[in-house]
Amino acid sequence: MDTIHRLGGYREYRPPPDLRDVVQVVWVYARSPGGDPGSPDPRHRVLPDPGVSVAFQCLRDRDGGVSNPRVVLHGPVMTPRLFRPRPGLHLEGVRLKPEWCPDLLDLEPRDHADADRDLREVAPGKARALPHRLEDTRHSREAIGILLDEVRRLLAGARPSRATLLAHAGLEGIRGPHLRSLNLSGLAGELGVSPRHLRRVIRERTGMGPKRLQRILRLGGAVVEADRLPRPSWARLAVASGFYDQAHLIQEFRDLTDRTPTRLHAERRTQSAPAAAS
C-alpha cells in the first residue's frame, strides 16, 4: 500500500482501488513495547474527522504476539481530544466513508460520535469471525489484510440504498480538490435534486451538514501539508489549502482544533520519531 501520511507511530495508507468508493484511508498506530522514556512524546491530538473506523486494538510484544485484543468502532470525531497510548499498543484500522455505514454495518455514524466502542456491542450481526482471525496475526499488514477482506465481504452483501448513493455522490463532490467554497446548489443540480434535499440526506447519513464537512476536510488537508514542513508559511498554506487568507486559516484552526496553527504544528513536531516496527 502507498503511504500517504506519517506522524510518529501513526501511518496512513491509500486504500486498494477496489475499495476507494467506501474506504477513506487505511491506518496503523504502533508504540514500542518498551515505552522508552527518552523517545518523543507519544501523546497525539485527535482532530475532527467524519470517518468511521473499524480497528483491531491490542498489545503486541516484540515478536508480534497479541494480548488484550479488541475489535473497536471509532465513531466520527466531532471534538478534538488527546490520545495517550500505552507502551506496546497497536491499532490497525480501516476508516470508512461515513455514508456507507448504514448499509455496511447497520449503524448511523451520528449515534457514535466521539465514541470508541466494541464492535460486537454496536454491530453484533457483523464481522463475527473477525476477533479470532485477528488474534492470530503477527504483523500489522496481516491484520489490515483481514480487515480489508471483511469490508469486501460486507460490501458484496450490501444493497446500497438510494440515500447512500446520493449522499456518496454529493460527498465525493465535497471531497474534491476545490475546497475554497461549497457550491451546494450546483452540486445538487448535477445530481438532479434540490439543495435542501441533498443537505438533508448528507446530514442524515453522516451526522454533519455539508458546510461543516467541508471545513473539516479543508482543515485536515492543511494539517497534513504543514506536517511535511519544518516551518510552514501559513499565508501560502492558506491559499494552497482553499482558505480565503491566513486570517481565515487561523480562525478555522482555533475553532476546530482549539489550537493556533503554530501551536498545533509544534505539538505535532514532537511526534516525528519513527514508528515501532510492525
Residue 252 has pLDDT above 50, yes or no: yes
Residue 42's pLDDT band (cuts 50, 70, 90):
confident
In a domain, 262, yes or no: yes
In a domain, 276, yes or no: no
Give bridge partners of residue 3 from the DSSP assignment. 13
Contact, 55 vs 13, CB < 8 A? Answer: no
Residue 207 has pLDDT above 60, yes or no: yes
**Does residue 21 share a domain with residue 129?**
yes
- In the block, residue with C-alpha cell 499565508: 235
**Does residue 104 share a domain with residue 20?**
yes
Residue 125's pLDDT band (cuts 50, 70, 90):
confident
Residue 278 has pLDDT above 60, yes or no: no
**Does residue 132 share a domain with residue 201?**
no
**Does residue 147 share a domain with residue 246?**
no
**Does residue 173 share a domain with residue 148?**
no
Residue 40's pLDDT band (cuts 50, 70, 90):
low
**Does residue 90 share a domain with residue 48?**
yes
**Does residue 84 share a domain with residue 148?**
yes
Residue 72's pLDDT band (cuts 50, 70, 90):
very high
Report the SS3 class of residue 67: strand
Give the pLDDT confidence score for residue 124 in this predicted structure. Answer: 87
The closest of 40, 10, 42 to 26, measured between CA atoms, is 10
In a domain, 15, yes or no: yes
Give the pLDDT confidence score for residue 272 in this predicted structure. Answer: 66
Overall domain count for the chain: 3
Domain final residue pick, 116, 140, 157: 157
Give the pLDDT confidence score for residue 253 in this predicted structure. Answer: 98
Mean pLDDT of the residues in the chain: 91
**Does residue 174 share a domain with residue 123?**
no
Distance CA 249, CA 242 (A): 9
**Does residue 205 share a domain with residue 243?**
no
The closest of 85, 95, 92 to 141, measured between CA atoms, is 92
Q: For the residues 149-175, what does the mean pLDDT come to?
A: 95
Give the pLDDT confidence score for residue 104 in this predicted structure. Answer: 96
Residue 39 has pLDDT above 80, yes or no: no
In a domain, 275, yes or no: no
Lowest mean pLDDT among 34-48, 75-89, 242-256: 34-48
Phi, psi of 8 (to 5 degrees): 60, -125
Residue 141: which residues within 8 A CB-CB, separation 6 or more?
A: 278
Q: What does DSSP assign to residue 230?
A: S
% of the chain at pLDDT higher than 90: 82
Residue 172's pLDDT band (cuts 50, 70, 90):
very high
Give the pLDDT confidence score for residue 277 in this predicted structure. Answer: 38
Contact, 153 vs 104, CB < 8 A? Answer: no
In a domain, 59, yes or no: yes
Distance CA 23, CA 17 (A): 10
**Does residue 147 share a domain with residue 170?**
no
In a domain, 95, yes or no: yes
Residue 217's pLDDT band (cuts 50, 70, 90):
very high
pLDDT digits (tens, 9 = 90+) for 223-235: 999 999 999 999 9
**Does residue 153 share a domain with residue 167?**
no
CATH code: domain of residue 244:
1.10.10
**Ranges of H-type helices in the chain:** 101-105, 119-122, 130-135, 140-157, 162-174, 184-191, 195-206, 210-227, 234-241, 246-257, 261-269
Q: For the residues 74-85, what does the mean pLDDT come to?
A: 95
- Higher-confidence residue of 136 and 273: namely 136
**Does residue 75 share a domain with residue 31?**
yes
In a domain, 215, yes or no: no
Dump the DSSP string for 135-191.
HT--SHHHHHHHHHHHHHHHHHH----HHHHHHHHHHHHHTSS--S---HHHHHHHH
Q: For the residues 126-155, what does the mean pLDDT come to?
A: 92
In a domain, 43, yes or no: yes
Domain that holds residue 232: 221-269
Give the pLDDT confidence score for residue 199 in this predicted structure. Answer: 97
Cβ burial, residue 106 (10 Å; 0-12/13-18/19+): middle
Distance CA 80, CA 278 (A): 27
